Structure 1
Amino acid sequence: MSMKLLRRHQSMRRLSYAAVAFVLLTTALGFGPAAVEAAANVPPLGTHAKAATLIDVESGRILYDKSGDQRLRIASLTKIMTAIVAIENADLSDKVKVSARAAGKEGSSIYLKAGEEMKLEDMLYGLMLRSGNDAATAIAEHVGGSVEGFVRMMNEKAEWIGLTNTQFMNPSGLDEDGHYSSANDLAKLTAYALHNPTFATIVKTRIKKAPNPNESWDYQWSNKNKMLAMYEGADGVKTGYTKMALRCLVSSATRNGQQLAAVTINDRDDWIDHRNMLDWGFEHYKLKVVAQQGQPISGYPLAAGRTFRYPLASGEADQLHSKLTLISNTSTPYALGERGVLEWELSGNTIGVVPVYDSTSSRLQWKEKRPLPALDNAASAGASDYSFSHTMRAVVRALFGGGA
């Protein structure tokens, strides 16, 4: 196995289970975050943006969108993908050597010099806090072998996550024909990336210092994202601007255990719009516990195998419907301890599915650090896709542990 393939294999093992759970929820299992429309009894929300989206990070439910699928230039919001691809495919302790091409890259910069070496982790801070195009190019060359190779990795990742209105031509976001994304795709990408603890830590950092091999003083980068100081609970993500894309912004915030992410593209009043979008989301879509791990299933000696939370507007909880599907006692999943799946629907759309176990199963004692998207054994309609879903879950468990 080549060193690059080995690194990619190792990095996949480092992916958080939550991130994998999110992407399977939004793509492979057939019910994406936009499957359930905003509640009719929620007051309307307006923005000045050409396109905008608000998403609940844990569930992937899109709470609001305006021209959410329109393909647009996205400037340095591109660097969200650059960062997550680098984090997942390289060692953060790697020394990245800056090429002349990287050092001379136009646009925003952290002023790297050709021949300089910097730890990848530090360079990622320069990428996300100061939007360094020189850092983006150096990272791409290091992780992908070339800028072109890295861009292929970016597009492969976009396809893997299920971003259908996204195509990258460079790692920085400089205007280039064929380089675009949409507000909905950026929201999904952000929700995916925020499940990665390294990414989440970087984008919420306000000030970062890093060694400077060329001077007697250290690099010091302050985060361009004003939301970190302007909005209570703000914890990321990225600013962007070019003459053609105009002002672009992705922000995230957490309140009362719920994290939302807002996206605007081409928005002259983005700071105000993001504050209003986040306030609107927290006020009208509370994250509710639909099922608690260990919760008994009425009429059966079974219990829910995982906590499932979902953002619900006023009155939506009364519209939830659940369906229990049992599995054959001769099946492999049954031998591994599962007894079936409990599926929830809202407005005719599946919003989540969790496995069920015998009420005495030791699996119900596992501690959950953070409730994950309820995807186990999920299918877009009923449990007909059970075998596929179980196979996907088995792969995840083989990679990251957590059961047979």
Structure 2
Amino acid sequence: MKKRIAIVLLLALAVSIAIYFVSKDAINALTKGKTNPPDISAANAIVIELNSGMVLYEKKAEEKAYPASITKILTALVALENENLDKIVKVSDSAVGVEGSSIYLEKGEKIPLRDLIYGMMLRSGNDAAVAIAADVGGSIDNFACMMNDRAKEIGAVNSHFVNPNGLQNENHYTTARDMAMIAREAMKNKEFRKIASAKSWTSDRGEGKYNYFANKNKVVYQYDGGNGIKIGYTKAAGRTLVASSKRDGMELICVVLNAPDWFNDTYKLMDYFYDKYQLVKIAEGERLINSVKIVEGTKDFAYIGTKENVVCPSLKDKECKISIAYDVQKSRKAPVSRWQKAGKLNVYCDGEYIYSEPLYYLEDIERGRNSE
């Protein structure tokens, strides 16, 4: 059946964008369990669409749980945002002989931060995580503060981290929803995405050292479109997995916590939602979609748009309006610069808010001569 198309945009500018229809009732049915998503072993789970952050499925997603080594997603993100990957790190005493998975660091060893992050993410080296935290944060406690601050910025407000590797501590906890938000933010980082999707990495630590890191996350080998991101396990946490994949332009993040059948749970959920959903493009990135009045400028109006494509997941063969609205100033004094933030574009499904995308000025406009 061909999808119906309608123009439902609230534009001050005469710009038309084709919008597909999906049923809000069908969306609610999926998210509230009125249809039949697969049964899974996980105690806690969530599936989101990466671009919009839209929740497609959740099971006790706000319940407190222990993350184990999926903690390292946040550790890697904080390190990447605060330090140069080419920096040479001198391994501290605290990073030697850490329990659990290891890349077998030696006291005083000098190793690039890049190798430490690959060793932490692929091999799940607990010692690599400690070495990263001690170098980037100056101490484990200070780095944990950096992790908690970054988590709150992302919106993961129901989590608390006390170490960089997820070794068991009652005060180190998260939720499936929080981990999905953290993973979504991390996957926006190009270097993180490259690391998380790697099947292996070879470091150059010298002859006789542990140089080859194979990715323990089978998603990147087994699943069609699988591109990350991290597994974890402790006795208290059980098996934890954050997985990502991309098919037909749509990218999903799936989190399962305390999941005895962790990979099968993940594959079943992602298969189900790839079958049910498609990605709809609402607006093209770097193309004008509206304008703002400019006061005292060399032009009266400035065009605005988004940097990235604006998309929304929609159920296949269903009917419902997806609309957009603008949160921008009616006018702005010159000057304005290209890629200066102009406001945000809000996306709605049948009037229900889905997500927002930043709006930017698409041109430079100087002050007019008569306004000096």
User: TM-score scaled by structure 2?
Assistant: 0.79
The answer to whether the Cα contact below 8 Å between 2:280 and 2:313 also exists between their aligned partners in 1 is yes
Aligned partner (choices 258, 261, 277) of residue 266 of structure 1? 258
Letter of the structure 2 residue corresponding to residue 123 of structure 1: L
Q: Give the CA deviation at 1:257.
A: 1.7
1:289 counterpart SS class? strand
Given candidates 40, 46, 49, the residue that maps to 1:56 is 49
Deviation sequence 1:225-244 (CA, Å, 0-9, x none) = 11111111111100100010
Contact 2:345 2:358 in 1 (8 A): no
Q: 1:108 to 1:163 in 2, by over 3 A?
A: same
State the alpha-carbon separation in 1 of the partners of residues 104 and 336 from structure 2: 58
SS in 2 for 1:39: helix
Q: Does structure 1 residue 279 correspond to structure 2 residue 283?
A: no
Question: 1:217 Cα shift?
Answer: 5.8
**Relative to 1, partners in 2 of residues 1:328 and 1:208: Cα closer, same or farther, differing over 3 Å?**
closer
Equivalent runs, 1:345-356 vs 2, <5 Å: 345-352=348-355
1:253 aligns with 2:253: no
- Structure-1 residue corresponding to 2:15: none
Which residue is equivalent to 2:129?
136
Corresponding residue for residue 11 of structure 2:
none
Pick the structure with more helix per residue.
1
Q: For each residue in 1:163-197, what CA deviation from the matched residue of structure 2 results, as whole angstroms up to 9, or x when unmatched?
A: 11110011110000210000000001001000101
Contact kept in structure 2, 1:292 and 1:304, CA below 8 Å: no
Aligned twin of 1:39? 27
Cα distance between partner residues in 1 of 2:246 and 2:265: 17
Q: How many angstroms does 1:345 deviate by?
A: 1.8
Q: Distance in 2 between matches of 1:183 and 1:256?
A: 25
Q: How many residues of Structure 1 are paired with residues of Structure 2 in the alignment?
A: 322
Consecutive unaligned residues in structure 1, runs of 5 or more: 1-35, 354-373, 377-392
1:209/1:218 contact within 8 Å kept: no
2:133 corresponds to 1:179: no
Give the corresponding residue for 1:332. 333
Partners of 2:342 and 2:77 in 1: CA distance: 36
Task: Please give the alpha-carbon distance, in whole angstroms, between the structure 1 residues aligned to 2:36 and 2:80.
Answer: 38
- 1:313 paired residue number: 315
1:228 aligns with 2:220: yes
1:304 and 1:118, CA in 2 relative to 1: closer, same or farther beyond 3 A?
Answer: same
Q: Distance in 1 between matches of 2:328 and 2:129?
A: 50
Identity %: 35
Decide which structure has the larger Cα Rg and report it.
2
Query: Are 1:375 and 2:367 an aligned pair?
Result: no
Cα gap change, 1:295/1:148 in structure 2, threshold over 3 Å: closer, same or farther? closer
Q: 1:252–1:328: structure 2 CA closer, same or farther, 3 Å change rule?
A: closer
Residue in structure 2 matched with residue 91 of structure 1 by the alignment: 84
Letter matched to residue 347 of structure 2: W
Q: Cα–Cα, structure 1 residues 334 and 217, in superposed 2: closer, same or farther, change >3 Å?
A: closer
Identify unmatched segments of 5+ residues in structure 2: 1-23, 291-300, 366-372
8 Å contact from structure 2 (residues 54, 355) kept in 1: no
d(CA) in 1 for partners of 2:46, 2:258: 13
Q: Matched residues in 2 for 1:326 and 1:146: separation?
A: 42
Q: Which amino acid aligns with 1:348?
A: G
Describe the SS at the equivalent of 2:161: coil
- The alignment yields a C-alpha RMSD, in angstroms, of 2.9
Tell me, what secondary structure is at the counterpart of 1:271? helix
Indicate the SS of the match to 1:84: helix
Alpha carbons of structure 1 residues 95 and 38: separation in structure 2 relative to 1, 3 Å: farther
Structure 2 residue 162 is the aligned partner of structure 1 residue 169? yes
Checking the alignment, whether the CA contact within 8 Å between 1:211 and 1:218 is kept in structure 2 is: no
